[in-house]
Amino acid sequence: MTPNDKEAWRSQAEVSVIVLAVLCMAAPVAFIVPALPRTEPTVPSEPTQGPQRLVKNGVVVEFSLLHPGDTSGPPRPLMEGDEAEVRLRMTDASSGLPLRGLSPSAWMDLGHLLSDKADVQQECKDRVGVYLKGLVGIRPLIDLNSYYLLVLNKDPSISVIDPVVGMTGKTSLYTTVVLERPGADWVKSLDQKRLYVSMPRAGAVAVVDANVFRVEARVQAGEEPTRVALQPDGHYLWVGNDASEPARSGVTVIDTQTLKPAATIATGRGHHEIVFSSDDRYAFVSNRDEGTISVISIARLEKVKDLKAGPLPISLAYSPLSRVLYVADGKEGTVTAFDGARLEEVARLSARPGLGPMRFSQDGRWGLIVNPAEHVVYVVDAAENQFVHGIPVSGQPYQVSFTRAFAYVRLLDSERVEMINLSTLGRGKQPTVQGFAAGQSAPKLAGDLSLADSITQASTEAAVFVASPSDNTTSFYMEGMNAAMGSFGNYGHNARAVQVVDRSLSEVEPGVYSARLRLPVAGRYDVALLLDAPRVLHCFQVEAKANPALKKALGALEIEYLDAPARLVVGQKPLLRFRLRDASTHQPATGLEEVKVLTYAAPGRQRAEVAARELGEGVYEVEPSLPRAGSYYLYVAVPELKLKYGDLPYRTLWVGGMSQNQTKREEEARGPRAN
């Protein structure tokens, strides 16, 4: 192949990629098979499971994909569904010293090898170029640089947004997690593989698999489960029960290994905030209407003491630096400090009534307490157990979040977010405050707000995402900028809180970069590695074998939506058809007796469930209930195969007003209008 031929092939490939992206956006097929153009038939070769070594531009790269813990001895074969660990060890070719502080990028996708080695790496380069463009529908099966933005909605759902795709100006909604009831609070597991979401109206906690973004379990969690908190070692999930009856008001403790309740402990009346000592010795639970803080032994799961810190304990915070518990009282306007080991009061600080949430910076040094009534943020120095600042802000502060360098203060009555530079805090210093707008209107205009944070740190240390509940958007802000760099829509849902699930490679030891993943399907994978400085671009190859037991257990189906327009008009009664196939054999899934369809209008109204009827050859038909104009979400479940709503890809439908023909017919029926 001549250089001109190769250049012509690359141009043709780019055109093909764009055409494929358009087809993926337009077609109703709800599954994507990654494919890229080839110039000649591929000749597969046997990939190696053990470490693979590359020397290029002065860098030695040792790549491996193994079961976690298989660092010595013969590696176990990898199969689809297995959890695996990618490890990239990078050293200097001359000195052998580890290369620290690099930012490698990597992608995994199904592929084959070309017999010509030069063409293999040229194809690898072309693939990486496509991935970096962020085209819709042309994404790798596994993106090892990615993170996902999760938005907790007012309706029973979680929007999962791919910011990488969204930054290109294309659609950024990756998927939607359907919940049984609306979520109140949520927390990630330490390894970010799970998300625990409290659902007060369901009396349960939803456990979301953050690898595939599906609800994997439902755990009974007592009456009115609201606040959720994960203790430092991750062993127990603590759920605050805001029950009206004193005997049922307290906490439910859930074992995160078995996903079963380990204890139910009554603590007192009122809403409960929960924090922990850094050594996992005690859990501290506030009882707002009781005016107490219950101390629970984590080892025995028993209440050992009640602390008194004022008539209205509004918030708790624990500093791992000073090992002191701080309790803010909203009525008296005091902050009481208790020694975390002796459980005795060591200081009582006086502010003004109206105190609200309190948080500590990531290093445990600075505690910030908001006072919406006074438009002030108070700062406690944990090293001294003293107030060092009362910082005025431009509105009513109601939430505080942190990056390493800044405290972000959300205002209730303004779209602005105030930023406090942590390096300017301390006795004798003048705090520096700046800010930016997140959205166009104040959060309080959205009505009821979530307990969960509306600000979260991005995958990098110096950036945040901010949810705007009244605008239903999420802004992205990088520190040092004068304004937010962009925003993401929420596709008809009402945003309440945000979280980030990070999937990117991280340096786990000097020169070793690692990430864990789950192999989604069997096949041969190309693993593309990109390093900017020094420049390295190379594709490794690994294989995952088929797992018959997994296929049998999943009863997996794939769905294809047929011949229904995405846009309808009010009064139109569409017959929606879809085809179900076995995911492993691709044969029609016939004879299913229980296929259900759920529709609801954004943001969660007009929920309706109907049964689908089989037409033959795996095609099923349903007449969904779409009574009013608006955006609708449609989900399919197959209970007999244990496929719940959200396990299969969903479909969106838009119902508009009357068409021009309908309007004309109605005008003709009414007769001529009087002049």
CATH of the domain at 76: 2.60.40.10
Q: Please give the backbone phi and psi of residue 173, each rounded to the nearest 5 degrees, phi first.
A: -70, 115
pLDDT at 95: 95
Amino acid at 8: A
pLDDT above 70 for 451: yes
Q: Answer whether 208's CB lies under 8 Å from 188's CB.
A: no
- Of the listed ranges 335-339, 391-395, 398-402, 562-566, the least confidently predicted one is 562-566
The single-letter DSSP state of residue 77 is P
pLDDT at 585: 76
Amino acid at 544: A
The single-letter DSSP state of residue 24 is H
What distance in Å separates the CA atoms of residue 614 and residue 640, rounded to the nearest whole number?
15
**Parallel/antiparallel/unpaired status of strands 406-411 and 416-421:** antiparallel
Q: Answer whether 153's CB lies under 8 Å from 495's CB.
A: yes
Instruction: Identify whether residues 643 and 525 lie together within a single domain.
Output: no
pLDDT at 609: 86
Distance of CA 79 to the CA centre of its chain: 26
Instruction: Identify whether residues 527 and 645 lie together within a single domain.
Output: no
Q: For residue 30, is it within any domain?
A: yes
Q: For residue 61, is it within any domain?
A: yes
The H-or-E segment that residue 210 falls in is none
Of 547, 576, 600, which closes a domain?
547
Instruction: Identify whether residues 138 and 16 lie together within a single domain.
Output: yes
Instruction: Identify whether residues 14 and 126 lie together within a single domain.
Output: yes
Instruction: Identify whether residues 62 and 95 lie together within a single domain.
Output: yes
- Of the listed ranges 200-209, 608-617, 655-664, the least confidently predicted one is 655-664
Q: For residue 148, is it within any domain?
A: no
The residue-averaged pLDDT of 485-501 equals 87
Instruction: Identify whether residues 514 and 599 lie together within a single domain.
Output: no
What distance in Å separates the CA atoms of residue 597 and residue 576, rounded to the nearest whole number?
10
Q: Answer whether 116's CB lies under 8 Å from 545's CB.
A: no
Q: For residue 580, is it within any domain?
A: yes
Of 519, 547, 575, which closes a domain?
547
Q: Answer whether 47's CB lies under 8 Å from 517's CB.
A: no
The residue-averaged pLDDT of 550-579 equals 73
Q: For residue 642, is it within any domain?
A: yes
Quickly state the pLDDT bin for 122 (edges 50, 70, 90).
low
Q: Answer whether 528's CB lies under 8 Å from 637's CB.
A: no
- Of the listed ranges 179-188, 475-484, 658-667, the least confidently predicted one is 658-667
Instruction: Identify whether residues 538 and 647 lie together within a single domain.
Output: no
Instruction: Identify whether residues 95 and 10 lie together within a single domain.
Output: yes
Q: For residue 471, is it within any domain?
A: no
Q: For residue 104, is it within any domain?
A: yes
What distance in Å separates the CA atoms of residue 483 and residue 259, rounded to the nearest whole number?
43
**Nearest to residue 37, comparing CAs of 105, 103, 130, 102?**
130
pLDDT at 22: 30
What distance in Å separates the CA atoms of residue 525 and residue 541, rounded to the nearest whole number?
6
CA 24 → CA 19, 28, 656, distances in Å?
9, 8, 24
Full residue range of the structural domain in which residue 106 is found = 3-143+507-547
Quickly state the pLDDT bin for 11 (edges 50, 70, 90).
very low
CA-based Rg of the chain, rounded to a whole angstrom? 28
CA 385, 433, 428, 334 dihedral sign is negative
Omega before residue 534 within 30° of 0, cis: yes
- The total number of structural domains that make up the chain: 2
The H-or-E segment that residue 477 falls in is strand 473-478
Instruction: Identify whether residues 567 and 511 lie together within a single domain.
Output: no
What distance in Å separates the CA atoms of residue 432 and residue 452, rounded to the nearest whole number?
27
Instruction: Identify whether residues 68 and 116 lie together within a single domain.
Output: yes
pLDDT at 47: 56
What distance in Å separates the CA atoms of residue 268 and residue 244, rounded to the nearest whole number?
10
Residue 499 burial (CB count, 10 A): 22
Instruction: Identify whether residues 64 and 96 lie together within a single domain.
Output: yes
What distance in Å separates the CA atoms of residue 411 and residue 370, rounded to the nearest whole number?
10
Instruction: Identify whether residues 7 and 112 lie together within a single domain.
Output: yes
- Of the listed ranges 66-80, 229-243, 255-269, 385-399, the least confidently predicted one is 66-80
Distance of CA 74 to the CA centre of its chain: 36
What distance in Å separates the CA atoms of residue 552 and residue 537, rounded to the nearest whole number?
39
Q: For residue 188, is it within any domain?
A: no
> Is the pTM higher than 0.75?
no
pLDDT at 532: 86
Distance of CA 646 to the CA centre of its chain: 15
Of 517, 547, 577, which closes a domain?
547
